[in-house]
Amino acid sequence: MCGIFGVIGSRESSSLILDGLRRLEYRGYDSAGLATIQYSRNNQFGELFTRKSKGKLINLSNLLQKKPIQGHLGIGHTRWATHGKPNETNAHPHLDFSGQIAVVQNGIIENYRDLSKSLQLKGIKLISETDTEIIPQLIGLEIENMLGKGLLANGKTLLSAVQKVLTLLDGTYSIAVIWSKAPDALVVARSQAPLVLGFGEGEFFCASDTPALVGFTRTVLPLEDNEVALLTPLGIELYDENGNRQRRAPSLFKGTELFADKKSFRHFMLKEIYEQPETAQLWIDRYLPSDSPSENSVAFPITKSLVEKIDQIQIIACGTSRHAAMVGAYLLEQFAGVRTNVYFASEFRYSPPPVSSNTLTIGVSQSGETADTLAALRMEKERRDLIEDSNFSFHQLGITNRLDSSLAREMDNVIDIGSGIEIGVAATKTFLGQMLAFYGLTLLFASNKQKRSTKEILELSNDLRLVPKQLVDLIKKHDALSKEIAHMFVETKDVIFLGRGINYPIALEGALKLKEISYIHAQGYPAGELKHGPIALLDQHVPVISIAVPGVVYEKVLSNSQEAKARDARLIGVAPNGSESAIFDELFSIPKVSEWISPLLTVIPLQLFSYHIAAHKGLDVDQPRNLAKSVTVE
Ligand code: AGP
């Protein structure tokens, strides 16, 4: 969640760190801070300076203008609070009792309570409410001990102290550490939370995510779990958890569009909604080209033999990615005939143990760094590896927008949704990309398992090819309509979204989008559930948004919508224009399409509706309160 950026080299570090943090602010923005070490020629040691501020990075930047700090070595942090309120005291970096060691951390130290108690027994007074502060304090004690034994104050001593302290920590984290008495050393470590090293010209970097580095260098090396690195102006030394020196070559990061530009849009979210036709077109060109040898084949990086083996699928994801997975599960079961279950990643650890060897486990994550999803996938791999049956193989697939992510590195097979970098915290184009990945998988399974006729498969493929153009028209139309009606919902406190069958996940996604950016309470229900409880909430103050697409559940959804209207709810339809749509007080009309592909279209008005309400309320659409784009804590 939080963002870490560090640099050591020959340039003034504070402006470089601010630049790096700016590209990491999507990870957390409730407070920010940095620490630098200024080397003094008169004194072989350096001097440590820190600056912290509550709120967005701009506050830290303003503070630095007023009170600049110098030094060629520094670490910075943008915070998403886990332990302790977002305030200056809890903002990183945290210092040790001597005020000479500074640490930034991303993640959670799970045993921090026990470690705090033992520090307090040693007379160390903790200043913040964070789990992080114990790290510099422990390093401080360790260094005191080492210096007492005659070790020299230098980078190697800092490295050894950090290595020692890491053995005491439980949790998922990455850290960066500096010490004023080692002004030519930056020590970093990773335990299941991302950290990438960057190799510049006479300078070296660390960051929580590759885009933060690309302004400085494209030569990168992701740290592996439990690795520690010592960065000096002369180079990088890498060690495994046992202290053995590791030698791995960095690679050249090839991503092209890591500098996000809002263009003429007011917010990234709106720009990203408008980019969806392009996402769909790119996906079709790449995976479903009309000139492919067999017109209905999907050019996915998954072998035919793997598809043939699989008779069950389980999908693990969180939030919007889980909604895409639910659309996928509907398609895989109903169209391709493969039994599919979807799990909340955070609940997966309570799922029944594996019984079938022919199961494909799919992890879906746009960022590829969601801790809940990664932990669930790792747990599944571990428990399957324990099964002593040579026929019991493990098949896994990742669906992500980030080929440089932990998910992509850890999965055997990966589908790149190729949506391009998404900056808005509310996922839009990546949701479309994830759904499209599932359409591709569905076509693949349906044709390989011969569950559908060639005609049906061809029809679905052809319908998909029409989607980009339909999206262009829909976005234009509903951008204008949502903008026009947004003011009517500014005072609204609750909204109910109804959908059924393949559009039930879209009702969930519509409600999630509205909650996330407009702070209006919203709930998505299967339309048939309305009468089993939620209907008690309805009156003229609770709008109901109903997704009604001609197909197997059309009549039923219309009846459920009537039930809401009869309770005075303002009824908004996402449906094709026609005589049946007359029941709606407002209509977000969509073209008459096959129910199979309808989720790709019905989600569009819901994204724009949420966007315009939030924008009308003057809210921070791209960085809504309490959220972060990449959720790297469990
Ligand atoms: C989407 O709008 C949300 N910000 C959130 O639910 C997100 O989908 C979830 O945290 C999962 O993220 P991931 O796709 O990066 O794993």
547 pLDDT more than 80: yes
> What DSSP letter does each residue of 548-568 carry, written as one string?
--SSTTHHHHHHHHHHHHTTT
Q: Is 373 in the pocket of ligand 1 (CB under 6 A)?
A: yes
Residues designated as active site? 2, 629
Coil, helix or strand at residue 405: coil
What confidence score (pLDDT) does residue 289 get? 74
Could you tell me how many helices (H) and strands (E) the chain has, helices first? 17, 25
**Which tokens sit at 496?**
């109910």
Rg of the chain (C-alpha set):
26
Q: Is 194 domain-assigned?
A: yes
The answer on 225 and 342 residing in a single domain is: no
Atom index in ligand 1 nearest the CA of residue 319 equals 6
Residue 176 and residue 292 in one domain: no
| Burial class, 335, CB count within 10 angstroms (exposed 0-12 / middle 13-18 / buried 19+) | buried
Domain count, the chain: 2
Does 260 have pLDDT greater than 70?
A: no
Q: Which domain-ending residue is among 222, 252, 282?
A: 252
Name the CA dihedral angle for 103, 374, 169, 232, rounded to a multiple of 10 degrees: -40
For the beta carbon of residue 385, count every other beta carbon within 10 angstroms. 10
CA distance 243 to 483: 59
Residues 607 and 510 in one domain: yes
In a shared domain, residues 368 and 455: yes
Annotate 132-170 with DSSP letters as a single string: TTHHHHHHHHHHHHHHHTT--SSHHHHHHHHHHHHTT--
Site of tokens 């060691």? 101
Choosing from 194, 224, 252, the residue where a domain stops is: 252
Q: Are 272 and 423 in contact (CB under 8 A)?
A: yes
Of 218, 252, 286, which residue is a domain's last? 252
pLDDT score of 491 more than 90:
yes
What is residue 443's predicted lDDT score, i.e. its pLDDT?
93
Residue 78 to residue 56: CA distance in whole angstroms: 8
Q: Which atom of ligand 1 is nearest to the CA of 425?
A: 4
pLDDT tens string 410-466: 998 999 999 998 999 999 999 999 999 999 999 999 988 888 999 999 999 999 999
Instruction: Tell me: pLDDT of 258 over 60.
Output: no
Please check whether residues 74 and 187 belong to one and the same domain.
Answer: yes
**DSSP H or E run through 500:** none
Q: Please list the helix, strand and coil fractions of the chain in percent, rounded to the nearest 5, in that order.
A: 40, 20, 40
Sheet with 171-179, side-by-side order of all strands? 94-95, 101-109, 171-179, 186-191, 228-232, 235-239, 245-246
**Opening angle at CA 191, ends 123 and 366, nearest 5:** 130
**511 part of a folded domain:** yes
Same domain for 300 and 242? Answer: no
Please check the confidence at residue 12 and state whether its pLDDT lies above 80. Answer: yes
Domain membership of residue 622 (yes or no) is no
Which residue segment(s) compose the domain that 62 sits in? 3-252
Choose among 186, 172, 99: nearest CA to 136: 99
Q: For atom 16 of ligand 1, which residue has the closest CA?
A: 365
Does 238 reside within a domain?
Answer: yes
Contact 400 CB / ligand 1 (< 6 Å): no
CATH number at residue 17: 3.60.20.10
Residues 323, 200 share a domain: no
**How sure is the predictor about 43, in pLDDT bands with cuts at 50, 70 and 90?**
low
> Letter for the amino acid at 105?
Q
Q: Please state the atom number of ligand 1 nearest to the C-alpha of residue 512.
A: 2
Is 259 part of a structural domain of the chain?
Answer: no
Three-state SS at 32: strand
Residue 53 lies in a domain: yes
What pTM does this model have? Answer: 0.88
The finding on whether 517 has its CB within 6 A of some atom of ligand 1 is: no
Q: Is 318 in the pocket of ligand 1 (CB under 6 A)?
A: yes
Question: Is 625 contained in some domain?
Answer: no
Measure Cα distances from 595 to 460, 502, 503, 547, 554 in Å: 10, 8, 9, 11, 9
Report yes or no on 306 lying in a domain.
yes
CB count in 10 Å sphere of residue 244 = 8
Q: Are residues 321 and 437 in the same domain?
A: yes
Mean pLDDT of 345-369: 88
Residue nearest atom 13 in ligand 1 by C-alpha distance: 365
One domain for residues 214 and 275: no
69 and 172, same domain (yes or no):
yes
Q: Quote the pLDDT of residue 383.
A: 85
CATH code for the domain in which residue 529 is found: 3.40.50.10490
Q: What is the pLDDT of residues 188-244, one digit of tens each?
A: 999 988 999 999 999 999 999 988 998 899 999 999 999 999 999 999 999 999 999
Find the 200 Cα to ligand 1 centroid distance in Å: 32
Is the shortest distance between the CB of 631 and ligand 1 below 6 Å?
A: yes
Task: Check whether residue 192 and residue 306 sit in a common domain.
Answer: no
Residues 99 and 229 placed together within one structural domain of the fold:
yes
* Tokens of residue 278, six digits: 């392009």
